[in-house]
Structure 1
Amino acid sequence: MLHRLSLSLRTILLLWFSGLYLRLMLLVTAPLGPRMAEDLGLSATVMGMLTTLPVLMLASGAIAGAWVVARLGVRTTLIFALLLAVAGSIARAGTDGALTLLLATAVMGLGIAAMQTSLPSLVRQWTPGRVALATAIYMNGLLMGEVLAAGLTLPLVLPLTGDSWRLTLMVWSLPGLLVAAALYGMGAPTSRLPRAEQQRHHWLPDFRQPVVWAMGLVVGMSSTLFFGLNAYMANVLQDRGEGHLLASGLLLFNSAQVVASFLALRYAGRWLGQTSPLLTLTLVSIGGTLLFGFGSGWWALWAAFATSLCVGIVLILMVSLPAAMAVADRTAPLAAGMFTIGYALSFGVPLLSGTLVDHTGVANWALAPLLAVALLAVPACAVVGHQYRLARYRTEV
């Protein structure tokens, strides 16, 4: 049986590389941005959309991903979603203007959204007894994708491709085809439903359930603080005359996510669905954000590190929950609802932060909407913990 192989090396590698391609292709445009802008004549607005558009697609495409899972099964959906994401990423290398570049980016974003919705169901199918650990493995891949894209593109990959941003995109994207082939060769059951049952199958998230909104709000808190502080760290530091600390601050802030993923490998199973860890991590994130905004020097940077570390662990714990709480055929819809709300917040709230900064001229106002979402997430943590206990009780009886 498959669960007996749940933590085999092959399964671990497939989960990790699937997680890697949730972020690698998306974030590689950041270091390549100046070359792309110069070559294609892109405006600053278009360059910003290359980062924000995929986040919007993660929100809008999550429900579509749940629909595909209900029709094709988990593994088949993941394979096709990965192929779609790779195709969109490679298509960016062949674009000749802003419109085609944004269209290719949207296609890639849809593929990634479907991948992100299907992976919690895959974890439940492959590793039913080790949901938290398996989720931590693919989330480690996701976070390493962020680091590899940001850290290796300019010093390593770009020189190997003759300073070509188009070839660099292809170098990062094409190995995704090997991951798709390996997933196909895994031979896991696809859980495709009979045609008559498909018509009755529930694939839409139930937004009437408070737990969906609570989970989405906690995920939104995690993603909003991460994306928001990344986006406005430069403004905050420059506003208080510490622009020289930006490179160190960004390195600390983003490396904390990798530390979080390794800590989650050890503690995720123990903390999964527990109110106290979720609440503590959220409160520390709020405190770290305040200290970063109103502190100075290296103390402020380490406060931002603490925030990034905590929201990274929160995200891993939350992504583990749909597979641990829902019955098999409701895992993807619950994940889709959570991601739709969470990524809608992480798309819209940082935009509100930018509007406040533009109107006030004070960089610290960027933190206000981020902190507002984080404060709303405090009671949501209690709701999530309570609903997890109820779900486990129903499973046991």
Structure 2
Amino acid sequence: MVGMPAHDDLATLDAPASPSATREPGSRPTGSPWRGRLLVVGILLAALNLRPAVTSLGPLLEEVRADLGMSGTVAGLLTSVPAVCFALFGLTAPRLARRWGPGAVVCAGLAAVTAGLALRPFAGGTPAFVGASALALAGIAVSNVLMPVIVKRWFPHRVGAMTGLYSMGLSLGTATAAAATVPMTRALDVSWRAGLGVWALLAAIALVPWLFLARDRTKDAGKAGEEPRSGADSGTGSGKDFGTDEPGAAGRARPITRSPIAWSMAVFFGLQATAAYITMGWMPQIFRDAGVSASTAGVLLAVIMAMGVPLSFVLPPIAARLRHQGVLVVILGVFGLSGYAGLYLAPAEGAWLWALLLGVANCTFPLALTMLGMRARTSAGVVRLSAFTQGTGYLLSIPGPLLVGALYQHSGGWGQPIAFMAALMVPQIVAGVFAGRNRTLEDEI
């Protein structure tokens, strides 16, 4: 079963020490105030570090290719490594969290990010470079899956707002790495190796609060065999939220692979991830080949990613108020198709406008995260849906960057790859409309 947690999955996430410590949900997370504040800081810092490993590479990809002797196809493989790692390691997140607790797993993930980014500059060839990148991406993968679970668990009545904060931090880290890597490398007069390695420092800072959150676990919540309160009480913030809806429900549940909601979410997530990783891996090269300088190409990528900062505050709350999120999916898709059309016809002349349009379209990620929290009623449902959606979705996204690299090398230009990117937007819209329907996973399984 893909990503299906056992009965007591994730029950140990910093649960309150006793029933008396549980607060009515809606205003702040359960437990002591300092832990709630530290959790908010930890979520934000973690989000800042979940994309620089990818977006810092795009603006320097040409230099990396030249130094390590990569062909276009191999470079395309490199841009697919994030999706591969997110799919493979993301599927392990529920089992790891069941064994060690989500806080400890996120902490270990950030340690892997720090180590991978620190080792990558010392790679002497492509295999070592890919291996160090994979270590960092493995850490990112488990955090990707567990963040929606942590938000649902500790902020059950503020899913939209906290998802917006998390998405804002993710977009900010993405944009900063894209914009600052080349100028910083040139200002310090260092090679691409140091320019990529400096992002390990940011990851090390993010690790600090999770060292405390990982240690802060209680003894009496989430024991094996505990059953949650059913119905309206699911999501009260107690450690039992990660059980099933009612005693024995785990044994009667249908496989998640038989859920139309799960598949529509996975396809929607996978296609938006395909667009995102093609953008992060290849967009700077598209602009550079059109005559834009390397530093400006990095800034243009940063513009695309930075659009997610303000929109991450706006989209999740709006989506949480709508009964059907399909209208938002269609609007974002229209922006994407317009941006690809402009990129095809006049990549350099309208570069800034195309970057803005594609930046709006790229905000399907915070929308998808919000929908994950809305398509399940319980935290246990979010665990299953998040693991399946992200694991399957990232598997579906693996061929995209590879095909773009192959099309580019075969055709000698960017016309065919851009047309391919635009074509993928159509099934993304269709899947998103189906995923946005007002149904939950529990209704189907």
TM category (shorter chain) comes to: 0.7 to 0.9
CA shift, 1:319, in A, is 1.4
Quick check: 243-252 or 8-17, which moved more? Answer: 243-252
CA shift, 1:204, in A, is 12
Q: Is the 1:284–1:310 contact (alpha carbons within 8 Å) kept by the matching residues of 2? A: yes
Question: 1:90 is matched with which residue?
Answer: 118
Question: 2:393 is matched with which residue?
Answer: 342
Question: 2:258 is matched with which residue?
Answer: 208
Q: Is the 1:236–1:293 contact (alpha carbons within 8 Å) kept by the matching residues of 2? A: no
Question: 1:143 is matched with which residue?
Answer: 171
CA shift, 1:285, in A, is 1.6
Question: 2:336 is matched with which residue?
Answer: 285
Question: 1:254 is matched with which residue?
Answer: 302
Identity across the alignment (%): 22
CA shift, 1:112, in A, is 1.0
- What does 1:144-183 align with in structure 2 at a 5 Å threshold? 144-156=172-184, 163=190, 169-183=196-210
Question: 2:278 is matched with which residue?
Answer: 228
Q: Is the 1:279–1:382 contact (alpha carbons within 8 Å) kept by the matching residues of 2? A: yes
Q: Output one character per residue of 1:342-369: Cα deviation in whole Å (capped at 9) or x when no partner.
A: 3234331232233334444553211333
Question: 1:265 is matched with which residue?
Answer: 313
Distance (whole Å) between structure 2 residues aligned to residue 392 and residue 122 of structure 1: 18
Q: Is the 1:350–1:370 contact (alpha carbons within 8 Å) kept by the matching residues of 2? A: no
Q: Does residue 294 in structure 1 map to residue 345 in structure 2?
A: yes
Q: Output one character per residue of 1:105-130: Cα deviation in whole Å (capped at 9) or x when no partner.
A: 22222111111011111111221111
- What does 1:1-397 align with in structure 2 at a 5 Å threshold? 1=22, 3=25, 4-6=27-29, 10-31=38-59, 41-44=68-71, 49-156=77-184, 163=190, 169-186=196-213, 193-194=222-223, 206-229=256-279, 233=283, 242-244=290-292, 248=296, 251-272=299-320, 274-295=325-346, 298-299=349-350, 301-312=352-363, 314-326=364-376, 327-361=378-412, 363-386=414-437, 389-391=438-440
| Paired letter, 2:384 | P
Secondary structure of 1:390 counterpart = coil
Distance (whole Å) between structure 2 residues aligned to residue 214 and residue 351 of structure 1: 23
Structure 2 CA distance for partners of 1:141 and 1:356, relative to 1, 3 Å = same
| Paired letter, 1:83 | A
Q: Output one character per residue of 1:35-79: Cα deviation in whole Å (capped at 9) or x when no partner.
A: 66676x443465554443123211222111232123322212211
Paired residues in the alignment total 386
Secondary structure of 1:5 counterpart = coil
CA shift, 1:189, in A, is 5.1
Distance (whole Å) between structure 1 residues aligned to residue 421 and residue 200 of structure 2: 32
Quick check: 297-306 or 345-354, which moved more? Answer: 297-306
Distance (whole Å) between structure 1 residues aligned to residue 293 and residue 119 of structure 2: 36
Secondary structure of 1:26 counterpart = helix
Q: Is the 1:73–1:192 contact (alpha carbons within 8 Å) kept by the matching residues of 2? A: no
Structure 2 CA distance for partners of 1:122 and 1:193, relative to 1, 3 Å = same
Over aligned residues, Cα RMSD in angstroms?
3.7
Secondary structure of 1:333 counterpart = helix
Distance (whole Å) between structure 1 residues aligned to residue 102 and residue 53 of structure 2: 22
Structure 2 CA distance for partners of 1:27 and 1:233, relative to 1, 3 Å = closer
Unpaired runs of 5+ in structure 2? 1-21, 227-242
Q: Is the 2:179–2:302 contact (alpha carbons within 8 Å) kept by the matching residues of 1? A: no
| Paired letter, 2:388 | G
Secondary structure of 1:243 counterpart = coil
| Paired letter, 2:45 | F
CA shift, 1:267, in A, is 3.6
Q: Is the 1:206–1:212 contact (alpha carbons within 8 Å) kept by the matching residues of 2? A: yes
| Paired letter, 1:254 | A
Secondary structure of 1:207 counterpart = helix
Distance (whole Å) between structure 1 residues aligned to residue 428 and residue 86 of structure 2: 20
Q: Is the 1:292–1:300 contact (alpha carbons within 8 Å) kept by the matching residues of 2? A: yes
Distance (whole Å) between structure 2 residues aligned to residue 87 and residue 196 of structure 1: 37
CA shift, 1:131, in A, is 1.0
| Paired letter, 2:108 | F
Distance (whole Å) between structure 2 residues aligned to residue 163 and residue 37 of structure 1: 17
CA shift, 1:247, in A, is 6.1
CA shift, 1:34, in A, is 6.3
- The two structures have a TM-score, normalised by structure 1, of 0.81
Secondary structure of 2:415 counterpart = helix
Distance (whole Å) between structure 2 residues aligned to residue 234 and residue 156 of structure 1: 16
Q: Is the 1:65–1:118 contact (alpha carbons within 8 Å) kept by the matching residues of 2? A: yes
Q: Is the 2:408–2:417 contact (alpha carbons within 8 Å) kept by the matching residues of 1? A: yes
| Paired letter, 2:372 | P
Distance (whole Å) between structure 1 residues aligned to residue 254 and residue 89 of structure 2: 12
- The two structures have a TM-score, normalised by structure 2, of 0.74
| Paired letter, 2:309 | S
